Amino acid sequence: MERVLKDDAVEEKGERARMASFVGAMAISDLVKTTLGPKGMDKILQSTGRGRNVTVTNDGATILKSLHIDNPAAKVLVDISKVQDDEVGDGTTSVVVLAGELLKEAEKLINMKIHPMTIIAGYRMALECARDSLLKKTMDNKENTDKFRSDLMNIAMTTLSSKILSQDKEYFAELAVDAVLRLKGSTNLESIQILKKPGGSLKDSFLDEGFILDKKIGIGQPKRIENAKILVANTAMDTDKVKIYGARVRVDSMSKVADIEAAEKQKMREKVQKIIAHGINCFVNRQLIYNFPEELFADAGILAIEHADFEGIERLALVTGGEIASTFDNPESVKLGQCKVIEEIMIGEDRLIHFSGVAMGQACTIVLRGASEHVLDEAERSLHDALCVLSQTVNDTRVLFGGGWPEMVMAKEVDELARKTPGKKSHAIDAFSHALQAIPTIIADNAGLDSADLISQLRAEHHKENSTAGIDVITGTVGDMQKLGIQESFKVKQAILLSATEAAEMILRVDEIITCAPRRREDRM
């Protein structure tokens, strides 16, 4: 019998392939499971590369992004957490846990000899039913500004309560809501800058309108400029030096060397004059500005800022309404940025440059203070999640209660559908309902509560009409989500539901894994 695949290729079929997929996906799900909910724990990720970087986080996407994974099914789950992070910003752990639970339930059904396609058909029906039940229960306070703001505050506090900022969640929720409402409905978070400065405590963080650039103002330059016209550039200020490696210039007297230097200086002076001709009073460059051009700028009363980092300079161009220039021959085609005041400020021990009254009114900077770089990195990730969710909620203003309430609402409807559905599909629909209930179960387990008792109480509560019961992790009982103000964005919940079901479905369809033969280096003699 001829072999189709190369010698080193590995093929796994049928039952074995399915087992490998299930095991990989469940292992990933179990890995992030303990980080779910307000009492979830963090993970330390240590890289083996140079510097042995350490990351302390409980953000699902960050944990999974840092892992090197060999199992193809596990990679599918890593991808859905990345997509969830890019799409809505939060719920990265929930989506992986739900997909893992759906696969766990599917494995039991496959052991009962139910065909994967039947399971998928059941899951599809259950998904539609769950989504419709959520749609019926959403609340929308778009018309009432005060109520909508309190919804946003609640959503931000719910998002932050499972993160490092949970101790000061009201303070940071306020910061995040203020920043997002400035965007006036845009989901582009580019104009919200997050600046991290070690020192102080998290509570010392603040929101500042305008833009802060992490640079010092040069020596002998104006420390404050009003009605600034800013030219943002990415250009080398030393292009005109003789830089040809290995070039030899032979001269027969010292005066000739002086002539070469003078010619170089003249070229530099011409370039600086071209820049000054734009009628600016602030020049920000991505690259270095050397001593001589700096003198020329200072003489002309222009504030020159060198070596601004690229992200900073792109953002500066965006918020001041300018564009990054690299040639200066025709000033009329260059778009200058504008702002009311540029001044130097101190944060902790550092001097920074503050641009206020920028052209893009919605621009603002959140300055984070904290004990160490690790705390600040995690605080930034937490705040980023909150900002993403809020900016999505401003567009899609529907909200739901949190704390396991949506899962119980969906599970109840899906249960009823399972009772009405004849045939084997009903087993799959029932399994979907079990998987949904696993989320509140895990939230309770992570808080060290008796999950079996709590979930049974919760199920009984949800059999009453319009129940708002969910898990109150702080008191360890079933609480009223409306009174506690625990709310979530509908868009995030919907994204979790759809992505997790699609990922589980994709893994269920697999019946063969083919690992290609590794490429060999041929001996080139």
Q: What's the rounded Cα separation, in Å, for the pair 79 and 506?
A: 12
Question: Is 204 one of the catalytic residues?
Answer: no
Token duo for residue 509: 């369809």
Identify the active-site residue in 35, 55, 59, 62: 59
| 158 catalytically annotated | no
What's the rounded Cα separation, in Å, for the pair 484 and 373? 33
Half-sphere exposure of 267 (CA within 13 A, CB side): 12
Question: Distance between CA atoms of 367 and 101, rounded to whole angstroms?
Answer: 39
Q: How far apart are CA 170 and CA 153, in angstroms?
A: 8
Q: Which of 93, 320, 393, 421 is catalytic?
A: 93
**Burial degree of 287 (CB within 10 A; 0-12, 13-18, 19+):** middle
Given the residues 55, 57, 92, 320, select the one marked as catalytic. Answer: 92
What values do phi and psi take at 3, rounded to 5?
-85, 135
Out of 385, 415, 430, 472, the active site residue is 385
Cα(96)–Cα(503) distance, rounded to whole angstroms?
Answer: 9
Q: What is the Cα–Cα distance from 209 to 181, expressed in whole angstroms?
A: 13
Query: Is the four-CA dihedral 312, 313, 319, 320 of positive or negative sign?
Result: positive
Q: 3-class SS at 229?
A: strand
The DSSP bridge partners found for residue 283 are 231, 304
Nearest to 216 by CA among 380, 363, 349: 349
Q: Are 39 and 446 in contact (CB under 8 A)?
A: yes
Per the annotation, the verdict on 151 as an active-site residue is no
Tell me, yes or no, if 240 is annotated catalytic: no
Torsion of Cα atoms, 70 then 76 then 77 then 79, to 10°: 100
Strand partners, 231: 283
User: Which residues does the annotation mark as catalytic?
Assistant: 59, 92-93, 385
